[in-house]
Structure 1
Amino acid sequence: MKQDVRILLLGEPKVGKTSLIMSLVGEEFPEQVPPRAEEITIPADVTPEKVPTHIVDYSEKEQSDEVLRDEIIKANVVCVVYDVTNEDTIDKIKTKWIPLVNGDAEKGNKVPIILVGNKSDLRCGSSMETILPIMNQFSEIETCVECSAKNLKNISELFYYAQKAVLHPTAPLYDPEDKQRVTLNQVV
């Protein structure tokens, strides 16, 4: 079993990546949100899976593409955050972020991705109708969580699903694209 889990949050500017992290840690919506949160380590004894968890924030304004590539390589799971009220941030999931995370990876080595729809407090209804086709297109997407950093909705669930994607992967034992059985050593 993994010794620890490294979660990377990325997405377009102003989608709420830093707010999500600060809401999780502070258990309230921050009055002042910095451009980027420092890396946070959550001790094993306060996580559901009893594994230390590192949460890393990415800011395009503050960090280089090289730093981003390094963080993607180090990440066990990537949370691609989008704004449920902004269609452009949803489009960038498939045109920018997933290719950036797993564009060069071989199928068995793709990093699991959690889609995170933030700002659900600003929208009536769900963004899932728009997100489902993206989820069907990319097998590395584990799940999608709609949440609100502002009213703390589904914040702890988001990080639980990210941990779970690493510790209990749901990769299929049969790959429909290759039409062949995946052996357990390929999954683990």
Structure 2
Amino acid sequence: MRRHVRILLLGEPKVGKTSLIMSLVGEEFPNEVPARAEEITIPADVTPEKVPTHIVDYSETEQTDEVLRQEIVKANVVCVVYDVTQEETIDKIRTKWIPLVNGGVEKGSKIPIILVGNKSDLRTGSSMENILPIMNQFSEIETCVECSARNLKNISELFYYAQKAVLHPTAPLYDPEDKQVRVEL
């Protein structure tokens, strides 16, 4: 069993990565949002799995590509955040973020990814019709969660799914590319 979980939030500027973290920690939408949140550690006794969880925010404007590469290597799971009202942030999942996280990595050692559609309070309906083809293309995507940092909708669920992707991975059991259950012990 893992001793801790390290969650990295990535995505285009202004999709709400920092707001999601601050809404989780403060249990309300922040009046002022900094460019980047400092690393947050959630103690084991307040997480469903009883494991300390580190949440790391990434800001393209505040940090270098080298820092980003280092954070990806240290992460147990990556949440790629997109804005459900901005189609170009969805396109960047496929063209920029997933290749950056797992480009060139062997199939068995890819970092699990959670897609996070933020700002659901600003849209009627779902962005899933645009997301499903991406989920089908990349086997490392565990799930997609639509949420709202402003309304606190699905915030704790998002971090629960990220934690679960690390502590109870589906990847070693089922290979979606080969469509086979593995029986390695």
**Residue-pair matches, total:** 185
SS in structure 2 at match of 1:143: strand
SS in structure 1 at match of 2:150: coil
Q: Give the equivalent residue in structure 1 for 2:134.
A: 134
- Equivalences for 1:98-177 in 2 at 5 Å? 98-171=98-171, 173-175=173-175, 177=177
Query: What is the CA deviation profile of residues 40-81 of structure 1, one whole-angstrom value per residue up to 9, with x for unaligned ones?
Result: 000000000000000000000000000000000000000000
In angstroms, what is the RMSD of aligned CA positions?
1.4
Q: Give the equivalent residue in structure 2 for 1:78.
A: 78
Mapped partners of 2:88, 2:70: distance in 1: 26
Mapped partners of 1:121, 1:57: distance in 2: 22
% identical aligned pairs: 86
Cα distance, 1:184 vs structure 2: 3.5
Unaligned runs of 5+ in 1: none
Q: Give the equivalent residue in structure 2 for 1:14.
A: 14
Matched to 2:129, the amino acid is E
Matched to 2:44, the amino acid is A
Unaligned runs of 5+ in 2: none
Query: What is the CA deviation profile of residues 72-114 of structure 1, one whole-angstrom value per residue up to 9, with x for unaligned ones?
Result: 0000000000000000000000000000000021000000000
Q: Give the equivalent residue in structure 1 for 2:38.
A: 38
**Runs (4+) off by over 6 Å:** none
Matched to 2:65, the amino acid is D
Mapped partners of 1:145, 1:167: distance in 2: 18
> Is this contact kept in 1: 2:4–2:52, CA < 8 A?
yes
Cα distance, 1:180 vs structure 2: 6.9
Mapped partners of 1:78, 1:31: distance in 2: 26
Cα distance, 1:175 vs structure 2: 3.4
> Is this contact kept in 1: 2:139–2:177, CA < 8 A?
no
Instruction: Provide the TM-score with structure 1 as the length reference.
Output: 0.95
SS in structure 1 at match of 2:82: strand
